[in-house]
């Protein structure tokens, strides 16, 4: 077994070897600063129909309620930025870059489980749980605390030299690791994300009204999209990358090296007409193991009709 002083170094080394682009550690404690912000956000109804955001309020703020005896939160970043040759052009309908390939829940969670198993094998008795956007965990808050970046004005985590096109994952464990410190905010006076959002979902710096976001309407909303939103989605039919695409820090984004995130070659070649005529069989072939399964074929068809309506 590793001596205690080497535990943190082992976790970070193995995280890098497993393909994570960064790993940071923070103490498992109550998120005192985030509590009033989350409460106010919910009171203003910015969650829209995402009722699950109202559940488990205490657990979202205290990891010790998710893992008995939790002492450390290990935050990890996993790059999904697609190579230039896979990215869709402006003359067709678009889906968010994170959904080009295999559903990230499976890809990233596999690596997390491996990391936890190796901690148990090399450190000793380690109790913990893996989280990839699938439980009441404020992942950006933990990543910020662990020094992996700052939460920008578009509320995405932004990392110096890397940007924001990555998934955030956590291991909450009951062993004490050496915590990292937070870094400062480098957004400065920039307001590119606020200026570019077509639905004004970024109501003020560092506040996003989830119920106004294109991603909310095209993924989370299960009923018809309100007619007053007509003409505001551009060509986005699943998610939206606008506030990230305009962020100056994303000039540092580099293509991922994960084979399972590679896009189906047919995706880039699809015209607007191809999207409008998409069949269930084509949907299955293109997005068999994609995050698009969240909205489903009929949901995608609804979005396509809404965006292409005269």
pLDDT, one tens digit per residue, over 257-280 is 999 999 988 898 899 999 999 999
Pairing of strands 166-173, 207-208: unpaired
**pLDDT score recorded for residue 120:** 96
Mean pLDDT of 176-196: 97
Report how far residue 80's alpha carbon sits from residue 294's, in angstroms, rounded to the nearest whole number: 18
Query: What confidence tens digit (pLDDT) does each residue in 92-123 have?
Result: 999 999 999 999 999 999 999 999 999 999 99
Q: Are strands 207-208 and 22-27 parallel, antiparallel or unpaired?
A: unpaired
Distance CA 6, CA 300 (A): 49
Say how far apart CA 176 and CA 47 lie, in whole Å. Answer: 34
Q: Which of 33, 103, 110, 133 is catalytic?
A: 133
Q: Between 296-308 and 280-287, two packed helices, what is the crossing angle to 10 degrees?
A: 110
pLDDT band at 49 (very low <50, low <70, confident <90, very high): confident
172 CB contacts (<8 Å, ≥6 apart)?
A: 28, 63, 66, 67, 70, 72, 73, 74, 128, 129, 131, 137
Q: Do 210 and 46 meet the contact criterion of CB atoms below 8 Å apart?
A: yes
180 is an active site residue:
no
Q: Tell whether the model's pLDDT for residue 301 goes beyond 80.
A: yes
Report the predicted TM-score, pTM, of the whole model to 2 decimal places. 0.94
Query: Does pLDDT of 84 surpass 80?
Result: yes
What integer pLDDT is reported at residue 123 of this predicted model?
94
- What are the domain boundaries of the chain? 1-310
Q: What is the mean pLDDT of residues 185-206?
A: 98
What percent of the chain shows pLDDT beyond 90?
83
Question: 280 or 135, which is more confident?
Answer: 280
State the Cα torsion 231-153-191-51 to the nearest 10°. Answer: 20
In this predicted model, what pLDDT tens digit does every residue of 197-220 receive, in sequence order? 999 999 999 999 999 999 999 999
pLDDT for 139 beyond 70: yes
- Alpha-carbon distance of 221 to 48, in angstroms, equals 9
Query: How many angstroms separate the first and last alpha carbons of the chain?
Result: 66
Which of 292, 262, 286, 263 minimizes the C-alpha distance to 274?
286
Per residue in 12-39, pLDDT tens? 999 999 999 999 999 999 999 999 898 8
* pLDDT of 310 higher than 70: no
Give the model's pLDDT for residue 48: 73
DSSP 8-state symbol, 158 = E
Task: Look at residue 44 in the predicted model and tell me its pLDDT.
Answer: 83
Please say whether the beta carbons of 261 and 102 come within 8 A: yes
Would you say 135 and 204 are in contact if contact means Cβ atoms under 8 Å apart?
Answer: no
The per-residue pLDDT for 213 is: 96
Q: How far apart are CA 76 and CA 21, in angstroms?
A: 8
Distance CA 279, CA 237 (A): 16
């Amino acid at each position: 077994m590793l001596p205690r002083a080497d535990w943190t170094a082992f976790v970070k080394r193995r995280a890098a070897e497993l393909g994570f682009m960064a790993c940071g550690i923070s103490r498992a404690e109550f998120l005192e600063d985030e509590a009033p912000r989350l409460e106010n956000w919910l009171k203003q109804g910015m969650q829209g129909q995402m009722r699950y955001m109202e559940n488990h309020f205490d657990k979202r703020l205290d990891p010790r309620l998710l893992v008995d005896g939790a002492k450390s939160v290990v935050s990890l970043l996993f790059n999904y930025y697609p190579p230039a040759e896979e990215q869709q052009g402006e003359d067709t309908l678009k889906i968010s870059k994170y959904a080009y390939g295999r559903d990230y829940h499976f890809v990233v969670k596999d690596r997390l489980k491996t990391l936890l198993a190796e901690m148990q094998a090399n450190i000793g008795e380690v109790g913990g749980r893996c989280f990839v956007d699938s439980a009441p965990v404020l992942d950006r808050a933990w990543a910020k605390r662990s020094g992996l970046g700052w939460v920008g004005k578009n509320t995405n985590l932004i990392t110096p030299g890397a940007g924001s096109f990555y998934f955030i994952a956590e291991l909450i464990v009951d062993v004490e690791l050496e915590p990292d410190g937070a870094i400062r905010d480098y957004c400065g006076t920039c307001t590119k994300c606020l200026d570019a959002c077509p639905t004004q979902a970024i109501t003020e710096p560092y506040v996003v009204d989830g119920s106004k976001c294109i991603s909310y309407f095209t993924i989370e909303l299960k009923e018809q999209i309100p007619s007053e939103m007509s003409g505001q989605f551009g060509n986005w039919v699943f998610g939206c990358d606008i506030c990230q695409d305009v962020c100056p820090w994303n000039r540092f984004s580099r293509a991922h090296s994960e084979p399972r995130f590679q896009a189906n070659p047919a995706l880039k070649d699809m015209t607007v007409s191809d999207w409008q005529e998409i069949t269930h069989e084509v949907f299955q072939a293109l997005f068999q193991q994609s995050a698009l399964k969240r909205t489903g074929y009929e949901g995608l068809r609804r979005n396509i009709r809404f965006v292409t309506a005269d």
